[in-house]
Chain A
């Protein structure tokens, strides 16, 4: 019970904070550095229409499958719905010309984390308490908190003036650009991430050792 209470509190605090932000959002100017000039050919109306259609298609997939994650009672079905959301987000990455990140999303999330979750489900499924249905009061409270958060977030997003958006970039960054960025500007986070991965490897091996 305390764990869920904490999440409730966190959600309420986020909602209250967003309300406070929303009251200022009218006059907030979004500060953005001048966008670097990107040489692009003017996109034709057909391209725009195709892009919009694909966006709405994948957004619908993401919305439906994330609702499926919430409202399916069986944990295996939840993991399957999660696959739909992850795939749709990867497709949206491709749509935003983030090709490398889309590929990474597919490989690491859909190929790695999802398999790990399914393995976790299989290893822990023989439990006498496998039905985890929340009480109606909890469903109501959770929906109220998250609905309030969603409404405030969307109202902020629609009222903010995102004026500085120049022409969006129409080409993909190459993998070489990523390598350049990782080894120059982001060298220290990169090394920290590699140390973190080493620590995780050792920690997982330690946690999974057989009982003596």
Chain B
């Protein structure tokens, strides 16, 4: 197998792998904070894709600026999510997402 220098595809494959593990984390963890960790993995994979395209395909700064906005959104989402989980814990004495089903019809 010929040696190919690391390029766009390598980064994209790595990002796809991280995306799939993040999704697996969201499926498997019943702990709400575990699901938050899965979302962080997903967003990191997306950022990796954005920066890789910005370097290898487009060459401008746009991809990196969008990645910066993704980081801002991730920070905001994590702050609110943890606040909600603490409230959930105060009300249900657990953060198991399967036990907080009071609104089930």
Specify whether A and B are partners. yes
With A108-B75, A117-B33 given, is the CB distance from A153 to B51 under 8 Å? no
Residues on B facing A (Cβ under 8 Å): 5-14, 16-31, 33-34, 36-38, 40-41, 44, 47-48, 51-52, 54-62, 64-65, 67-69, 71-76, 78-80, 82-87, 89-90, 93-99, 101, 104
A150–B11 touching, CB < 8 Å? no
**Residue numbers in A under 8 Å from B31 (CB-CB):** 75, 132
Residue of B nearest to A67 (CB): B21
Q: Measured between C-beta atoms, what is the minimum distance from A158 to chain B in Å?
A: 7
0/1 interface trace, chain A 126-166, chain B, CB 8 Å (1 if under)? 01110010100011011101110110011001100010111
Cα-based distance from A185 to B66 in the complex (angstroms): 11
A157 touching B20, Cβ below 8 Å: no
**Bound Cα distance A200, B34 (Å):** 21
Nearest opposing residue in chain A for B43, CB measure? A109
Q: Which 8 A-B pairs give the minimum distances between C-beta atoms?
A: A142-B27, A207-B83, A153-B16, A66-B21, A150-B20, A120-B82, A124-B89, A200-B76
| CA of A181 to CA of B16, assembled, Å | 28
- Structural contact, B84 and A142, CB atoms closer than 8 A: no
Instruction: Tell whether, in the assembled complex, residue A169 and residue B27 are in contact, meaning their CB atoms are under 8 Å apart.
Output: no
Residue numbers in A under 8 Å from B44 (CB-CB): 85-86, 89, 109
Inter-chain CA distance A4–B100, complex, in Å, is 13
B34 engages A78 (CB within 8 Å): yes
Flag if B33 contacts A75 (CB, 8 Å): yes
State whether A117 touches B37 (Cβ < 8 A): yes
Flag whether A13 is at the interface (Cβ < 8 A). Answer: no
**B27 touches which of A105, A116, A138, A204 (Cβ 8 Å):** A138
Which listed residue (A1, A11, A59, A169) contacts B10, Cβ 8 A?
Answer: A59
Contacts of A121 in B (CB 8 A): 33
| CB pair B72 A89 closer than 8 Å | no
Among A96, A127, A197, A211, contact of B93 (Cβ-Cβ < 8 Å): A127
Residues of B within 8 A of A21 (CB): none
